[in-house]
A and B are shown apart, each in its own frame.
Chain A
Amino acid sequence: MEQQYIDFYKESHTLIKQHSAALMNNFRDAAFEKFERLGFPTSKLENYKYTDMSAPLSIEYGLNINRLQFQINPYDVFKCDVPAIHSYLFFVLNDTFYPVNSTAKQHLPEGVIIESLRTAAENYPQLVEKYLGKLSNEKNDGWIAFNETFAQDGFFMYVPKNVKLSKPVQLINIMRSDVDFMANSHNLIILEEGAKAQLLVCDHTMDNVHFFSNRLTEVFAGKNAVYEHYKLENTNILNTNVSNLLIHQEDSSNVLTNVITLHNGMTRNGIEMIIDGENCESLLCGMVIGDKNQDVDNFTEIVHKKPNSQSRELFKYVLDDSSKGAFAGKIQVAKNAQKTSSFQTNKNILLSKTAKMRTKPQLEIYADDVKCSHGATIGQLDEAAKFYMQSRGISESEARLLLMFAFTADVMDNIRIDALRDRMKLLVEKRLRGELSRCEGCMIC
Chain B
Amino acid sequence: MLEIKDLHASINGKEILKGVNLTIRAGEIHAIMGPNGAGKSTLAWVLSGNPAVEVTHGEIIFNGKNLLEMSPEDRSREGIFLSFQYPVEIPGVSMVNFMRTAVNEQRKYKNLEPLSAADFLRLMREKKELVEMDNKLTSRSVNEGFSGGEKKRNEIFQMAMLEPKLAILDETDSGLDIDALRIVANGVNKLKRPDNATLVITHYQRLLDYIIPDFVHVFYDGRIVKTGDKNLALELEEKGYDWIKKEVETPVEQ
User: How far does the Cβ of B186 sit from chain A's closest Cβ, in whole Å?
Assistant: 22
User: How far does the Cβ of B138 sit from chain A's closest Cβ, in whole Å?
Assistant: 14
Q: Which of B35-43, B101-109, B172-180, B197-205 contacts A (4 or more CB under 8 A)?
A: B101-109
Interface residues on A, range: 20 to 34
User: How far does the Cβ of A404 sit from chain B's closest Cβ, in whole Å?
Assistant: 10
A389 interfacial by beta-carbon distance below 8 Å: yes
Does A393 lie within 8 Å of B92, measured CB to CB?
A: no
Does A390 lie within 8 Å of B76, measured CB to CB?
A: yes
Does A391 lie within 8 Å of B105, measured CB to CB?
A: no
Which positions 313-336 of chain A face chain B at CB distance < 8 Å?
none
A27 interfacial by beta-carbon distance below 8 Å: no
Instruction: Contacts A390-B73, A391-B48, A393-B73 given; indicate if A403 touches B90 (C-beta within 8 A).
Output: yes
Does A396 lie within 8 Å of B48, measured CB to CB?
A: no
Contacts of B49 in A (CB 8 A): 390-391
Alpha-carbon distance A389/B89, docked complex (angstroms)? 11
Contacts of B109 in A (CB 8 A): 393
Which positions 47-61 of chain B face chain A at CB distance < 8 Å?
48-51
Does A406 lie within 8 Å of B72, measured CB to CB?
A: no
B46 interfacial by beta-carbon distance below 8 Å: no
Does B92 lie within 8 Å of A405, measured CB to CB?
A: yes
Contacts of A127 in B (CB 8 A): none
Instruction: Contacts A387-B51, A388-B87, A402-B97 given; indicate if A395 touches B92 (C-beta within 8 A).
Output: no
Alpha-carbon distance A403/B90, docked complex (angstroms)? 8
Does B93 lie within 8 Å of A402, measured CB to CB?
A: yes
Alpha-carbon distance A402/B81, docked complex (angstroms)? 20
Instruction: Give the residue of B75, B90, B141 whose beta carbon is less than 8 angstroms from that of A389.
Output: B90
Alpha-carbon distance A406/B76, docked complex (angstroms)? 23
Which positions 125-142 of chain B face chain A at CB distance < 8 Å?
141-142
Report which residue of B73, B82, B162 has the largest number of chain A beta carbons within 10 angstroms of its beta carbon. Answer: B73
Task: Number of B interface residues at 8 Å Cβ cutoff, please give it.
Answer: 31
Contacts of B105 in A (CB 8 A): 393-395, 398
User: How far does the Cβ of A428 sit from chain B's closest Cβ, in whole Å?
Assistant: 12
Does A385 lie within 8 Å of B90, measured CB to CB?
A: yes
A409 interfacial by beta-carbon distance below 8 Å: yes
User: How far does the Cβ of A395 sit from chain B's closest Cβ, in whole Å?
Assistant: 5
Does B71 lie within 8 Å of A390, measured CB to CB?
A: yes
User: How far does the Cβ of B43 sit from chain A's closest Cβ, in whole Å?
Assistant: 15
Contacts of A394 in B (CB 8 A): 73, 98, 101-102, 105
Does B76 lie within 8 Å of A384, measured CB to CB?
A: no
Chain B residue at minimum C-beta to C-beta distance from A413: B92
Contacts of B98 in A (CB 8 A): 389, 392, 394, 402
Does B90 lie within 8 Å of A393, measured CB to CB?
A: no
Contacts of A392 in B (CB 8 A): 76, 98, 102, 158, 162
Alpha-carbon distance A390/B72, docked complex (angstroms)? 6
A61 interfacial by beta-carbon distance below 8 Å: no
Does A406 lie within 8 Å of B90, measured CB to CB?
A: yes
User: How far does the Cβ of A81 sit from chain B's closest Cβ, in whole Å?
Assistant: 23
Contacts of B90 in A (CB 8 A): 382, 385, 388-389, 402-403, 406
Contacts of B76 in A (CB 8 A): 390-393
Alpha-carbon distance A388/B141, docked complex (angstroms)? 14
Instruction: Give the residue of A388, A396, A405, A410 whose beta carbon is less than 8 angstroms from that of B88.
Output: A388
Alpha-carbon distance A405/B106, docked complex (angstroms)? 21
Contacts of B51 in A (CB 8 A): 387
A40 interfacial by beta-carbon distance below 8 Å: no
User: How far does the Cβ of B48 sit from chain A's closest Cβ, in whole Å?
Assistant: 5
Contacts of B81 in A (CB 8 A): 391
A407 interfacial by beta-carbon distance below 8 Å: yes
Does B92 lie within 8 Å of A407, measured CB to CB?
A: yes
Contact with B along A393-421 (1 / 0, CB 8 A): 11110100011011101100000000000
B91 interfacial by beta-carbon distance below 8 Å: yes
B84 interfacial by beta-carbon distance below 8 Å: yes
Instruction: Give me the 10 closest cross-chain CB pairs, A-B, nearest first.
Output: A406-B92, A393-B76, A390-B72, A388-B88, A392-B102, A409-B92, A393-B106, A390-B73, A406-B93, A385-B90
Q: Contacts A391-B72, A393-B109, A394-B98 known; list 12 others, CB within 8 Å.
A: A384-B88, A387-B50, A389-B93, A389-B98, A391-B76, A392-B162, A402-B101, A403-B90, A406-B93, A406-B141, A407-B92, A409-B92
Sample (11) of A-B pairs whose CB atoms are under 8 Å apart: A385-B88, A387-B72, A391-B49, A391-B76, A391-B84, A393-B77, A393-B109, A394-B73, A396-B73, A406-B92, A410-B92
